[in-house]
Structure 1
């Protein structure tokens, strides 16, 4: 597939918020794809908690504040961007729309949002990179990486990522095994013909013999470790961010190993059910880093999970986030109207963020502090 501009589809006029996008997407997607994108692990407690945790935070409005010179700009990894919205990495986006990750990347670039391509993307990693790297005003372009059992393959994949022009690696660390996804099993989830993790082609199967007396039948023999992180850092010139950090002790260990950023995430509730909501974990991690001697307080901390309104984005920034990642709503927009649908999701969030800032008296995101939650 080439990087030709995706066809523009209209967004239905009765879609005015992200919940509308979700409702429409449920009607558009196949039952197979809906189970994959919408489901969480086990009883989906963490999936629901991600959403409810943001709702339980109340914003206290402030009035008569100077707002005339306000803006949403942020600084991330040494670069300035127009707003704090990033597209989270999500696999197999061609399940939602034929243009898949290409449409999402185009929309993110057009709206100045960051874009992170999944290792399990359904398009070659070079395609979205070639399409958006020259776009003026785009956000950061990152690649999400799962460490593979074959270090040689991983090294070559990272070299491809660097050659393609990606600007950082997002190493997912919270999924040594997949969660127990009941919804997918009930639906008999499978990848249709023609959709696969194309960037993992050529990766052989693990060679270690299965040990049925070990955890997960020996699969964890290949689970990544802190030593593997150090190995990866030595293989690449790109910044490395860790995605899937919930515990403050893990955040501190990552800071000691001089990672370039953290993403507070519970994998969208898709791995360990009953893991804490990201809105609960975020301030604990920020507080731990600020109490650590040295420059760790300046370490970028990004959060995902349950972001559905601009008020959620403002709450995340007030809790200490440097930016936010948006996941499932991107897929809903993609399913509904391709690139235009993704752009619509991002525009809604940007508009709602600016409204929330104005109504809480925040001229800039630096004004968003925990004081927004108190009187």
Structure 2
């Protein structure tokens, strides 16, 4: 409901960016909003939504709306979860703990990054009974990767999101020009420094006492550029949690993933942060949904999630109409964290959910089952 005074936090994504630019350091702002190379993929992600327009239907009973979904046996109130965003301490001192408190109130799933500023266990404790998934950067040190998975399961996380598009970090010109990578200052590495398998790499040194050596060891084992589809068998043997792979942009990879028995996938180009000139994630979504449907058949139990460019409720509707089962929200909540901590994250989420609820209803849909490809039209 509108009140006589403006909201404490910006409502639009554009105003969130403007406010964050004023309040965050140059380095933190660049790290969050920046992308690979010329940032053409970041821009293309945004433009991709303009290719699709909602075709509202009228004279339908939308007095009550049901936005709930079910994933892996748990019901969620809306098809929205928080994408993994690493090193949140550069945005706010309470970082992932503030985010965990905000999402717990709303029962929106949070995906905690491997490179979080607080440990898996600390974030899991803050989530309590709230839904949480864990994002794995697949370390070239198999002992470290296995240890992360074991810790995530013990901390109560309900699924593993394996990011496959980042065996190495992309060419990010903003960060290079600022001479800034937070991990080289030890930010975002607490999960590693507190991990027993990672500590075994340091020949008995305490990573907090010899941070330079620990950071060098992290650089050596962060990702693994040698991974192939056959390695998923090893990953599956390490955990009983559902495995969702993130970074799928080609239908052939989607079919291969189904053949390899993954439990779900995220269509994503990492928000444009990895490959300059990559296909917009939204453009890739319909073909991947069709490929998964063909590979799995009528009893499709491999959900397809989407991220890279979600800013408003209308974006969520268009992604759902193109076949996504849920979407991941990234930069908006990160900016909300930067300008307002827990309250900022909660405000961003509440605004998005309210916008989504209105857009679904005004499109003539009473539930997400009504949001189909017939709900949208190509703009041309």
TM-score by length of 2: 0.87
Q: Secondary structure at the match of 2:70?
A: strand
Q: CA deviation at 1:68?
A: 2.6
| Residue 195 of structure 1, aligned match among 181, 187, 193 | 187
For the residue of structure 2 that corresponds to 1:86, the secondary structure is strand
Establish whether residue 306 from structure 1 lines up as the match of residue 297 from structure 2: no
What is the deviation of 1:374?
3.4
1:215 equivalent in structure 2: none
1:297 alignment partner, SS class: coil
What does residue range 264-283 of structure 1 map to in structure 2 within 5 Å? 264-283=267-286
- Report the equivalent of 1:72: 67
In the alignment, is the contact (CA less than 8 A) between 1:43 and 1:273 conserved in 2? yes
SS at match of 1:349: helix
Distance in 1 of aligned mates of 2:21 and 2:109? 26
- Could you tell me how far apart the structure 2 residues matched to 1:194 and 1:299 are? 37
What SS is found at the alignment partner of 2:52? coil
Please, which of 351, 370, 373 is the counterpart of residue 370 of structure 1?
373
CA contact (8 A) 1:77 1:300 kept: no
Q: Which moved more, 1:95-104 or 1:106-115?
A: 106-115
Cα distance, 1:110 vs. partner? 1.1
SS of 2:175 mapped into structure 1: helix
Contact 2:167 2:223 (C-alpha < 8 Å) held by counterparts: yes
Q: CA RMSD in A?
A: 2.1
What are the superposed Cα offsets for residues 311-337 of structure 1, whole Å, 9 maximum, x if unpaired?
001111111111000001111100111
Aligned to 2:300: 297
Query: Which residue, 323, 327, 351 being the options, matches 1:324?
Result: 327
Displaced runs of 4 or more, over 4 A? 219-222
Asked if residue 170 in structure 1 is aligned to residue 161 in structure 2, the reply is yes
1:155 partner SS: helix
1:43 aligns with 2:43: no
Q: In structure 1, what is the Cα distance between the partners aligned to 2:223 and 2:87?
A: 24
- CA distance in 1 between counterparts of 2:223 and 2:180 reads 24
In structure 1, list runs of 5 or more residues that go unmatched.
1-10, 206-218
1:53 aligns with 2:48: yes
Flag the 1:129–1:54 CA change in 2: closer, same or farther, 3 A: same
Secondary structure in 1 matching 2:180? coil
Query: Would the alpha carbon gap of residues 85 and 338 (structure 1) be closer, same or farther in structure 2, given more than 3 Å must change?
Result: same
Distance 2:257 2:282 in 1: 20
Q: Distance in 2 between matches of 1:354 and 1:12?
A: 19
In structure 2, relative to structure 1, the CA distance for the partners of 1:331 and 1:374 (3 Å cut) is: closer
Distance 1:246 1:95 in 2: 30
My pick for the range that moved more, 89-98 or 175-184, is 175-184
Query: For 1:146, which of 137, 144, 163 is the aligned residue?
Result: 137
Residues 1-375 of structure 1: pairs in structure 2 closer than 5 A: 13=8, 15-134=10-129, 138=130, 140-191=131-182, 195-201=187-193, 202=198, 204=201, 222-294=225-297, 297-374=300-377
Deviation at 1:292, TM superposition (A): 2.2
2:111 counterpart SS class: strand
Q: Distance in 2 between matches of 1:195 and 1:15?
A: 28
Partner Cα distance (2:174, 2:119) in 1: 28
Distance 2:9 2:242 in 1: 41
Is contact 2:138–2:224 with CA below 8 Å preserved after alignment? no
Aligned length: 349
Distance 1:221 1:336 in 2: 34
Shift of 1:220: 8.7
Unpaired runs of 5+ residues, structure 2, are: 1-5, 203-221
For 2:205, the equivalent position in structure 1 comes to none
Secondary structure at 1:292 match in 2: helix
In structure 2, C-alpha distance between the alignment counterparts of 1:165 and 1:79, rounded to whole Å: 14
